[in-house]
């Protein structure tokens, strides 16, 4: 079991914007190494005796299972903490919660609504904090996406990625992740649902170092034209269920189906963070077809999050 570098030890993972291209490459390289070790059955208990607290204010399948299994495979212990289990649910401040948990744990992963809550938790915690998802960002998902793309395509820089759909947390972190790794990204969203301008500006800033092209358009065909990677997400995220019917009408032209992907490269790959709604944002023929790598993508949540934990905790 080779020694891991201490470059990221003690760091928080709140946004990919806070990491350099070389630091992101280190995470992806470590994820690939851990994946190989797991497949070969080689022990890799880099976090033996360490404990991760996992705070969930939103329901989860992939995030909970991958972090809990991941910390176990690294030799540590994962402690599941729902919002109702903590005094947060009865009004204890985030700052006080951070101070207390820092005395018990070696790291915190939180999946919640407001990005400001994650940032406040990190500000007052003496241990690393990992953003498992907020309404603004989803960095762990995009690290898994980048790992998957690199596995299939053999590289990242110079590829074209098309994201079609809501300018949500996945779109935001894709903009930042692509900018940091030299992937040209075009986001196609309807008016009123585009990515937040400050995120686009941050991605453009990050892209100056890598040469990535950052574009936001309204035409899904324009986005998908000659794309190496096509990505979509649900039309209504958690907390937006009341908008489902209204959004369905707005986003109908943004469905990723057999007609739309005719404009992509012949060897394009399709990604979706899941859960997916077949025949809403994507046709069954695409997500279940030969170009789909969504199951590898889901698996890579485990490997990339293990890399993050092993490097920062």
Give me the torsion for CA of 25, 30, 32, 36, rounded to 10°: 170
For this structure, is 301 an active site residue? yes
Q: What angle do CA 68, 71, 76 make, to 5 degrees?
A: 125
Let me know if 138 is a catalytic residue.
yes
Candidates 57, 141, 147, 305; catalytic one = 141
Nearest to 270 by CA among 249, 250, 251, 296: 296
Left, alpha or beta for 275 (phi > 0: left; psi -120 to 50: alpha)?
beta
DSSP 278: B
Q: Which residues pair with 270 in a beta bridge?
A: 230, 292
Q: Residue 17 catalytic?
A: no
From 206, 301, 303, 305, the catalytic residue: 301
Helix axes 139-153, 294-312, angle to 10 degrees: 120
Give me the catalytic one of 138, 150, 255, 303.
Answer: 138
**Catalytic residue (choose from 73, 273, 303, 305):** 273
Q: At a CB cut-off of 8 Å and minimum separation 6, what does 115 contact?
A: 14, 131, 134, 135, 136, 137
Identify whether 44 is a catalytic site residue: no
The secondary element (H helix, E strand) that includes residue 217 is: strand 214-217
Sheet holding 229-232, edge to edge: 214-217, 184-188, 160-164, 229-232, 269-272
Residue 41 burial (CB count, 10 A): 6
Q: Which of 233, 247, 272, 303 is catalytic?
A: 233
Catalytic-role residue among 62, 111, 150, 247: 111
Question: Would you call 96 a catalytic residue per the annotation?
Answer: no
Q: Is 196 a catalytic residue?
A: no
Give me the active site residues, please: 111, 138, 141, 233, 273, 301
């Amino acid at each position: 079991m080779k020694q891991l570098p201490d470059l990221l030890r003690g760091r928080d993972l709140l946004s990919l914007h806070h990491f350099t291209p070389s630091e992101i490459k280190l995470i992806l390289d470590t994820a690939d190494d851990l994946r190989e070790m797991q497949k070969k059955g080689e022990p890799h208990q880099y976090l033996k005796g360490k404990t991760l607290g996992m705070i969930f204010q939103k329901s989860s399948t992939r995030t909970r299972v991958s972090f809990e299994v991941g910390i176990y495979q690294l030799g540590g212990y994962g402690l599941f903490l729902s919002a109702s289990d903590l005094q947060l649910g009865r009004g204890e401040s985030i700052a006080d919660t951070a101070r207390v948990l820092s005395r018990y744990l070696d790291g915190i992963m939180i999946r919640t609504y407001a990005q400001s809550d994650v940032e406040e938790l990190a500000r007052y915690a003496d241990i690393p904090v990992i953003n498992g998802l907020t309404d603004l960002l989803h960095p762990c998902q995009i690290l898994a996406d980048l790992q998957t793309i690199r596995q299939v395509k053999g590289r990242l820089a110079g590829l074209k990625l098309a994201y079609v759909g809501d300018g949500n947390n996945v779109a935001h972190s894709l903009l930042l992740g692509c900018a940091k790794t030299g992937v040209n990204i075009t986001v196609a969203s309807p008016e009123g649902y585009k990515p937040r301008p400050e995120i686009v500006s941050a991605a453009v800033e990050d892209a100056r170092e890598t040469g990535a092209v950052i574009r936001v358009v309204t035409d899904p065909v324009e986005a998908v034209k000659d794309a190496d990677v096509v990505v979509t997400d649900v039309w209504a995220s958690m907390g937006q269920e009341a908008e489902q019917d209204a959004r369905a009408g707005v986003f109908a032209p943004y469905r990723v189906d057999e007609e739309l992907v005719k404009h992509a490269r012949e060897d394009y790959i399709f990604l979706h963070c899941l859960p997916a709604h077949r025949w809403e944002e994507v046709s069954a023929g695409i997500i279940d077809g030969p170009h789909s790598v969504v199951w590898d993508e889901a698996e890579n949540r485990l490997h990339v999050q293990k890399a993050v934990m092993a490097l920062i905790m």
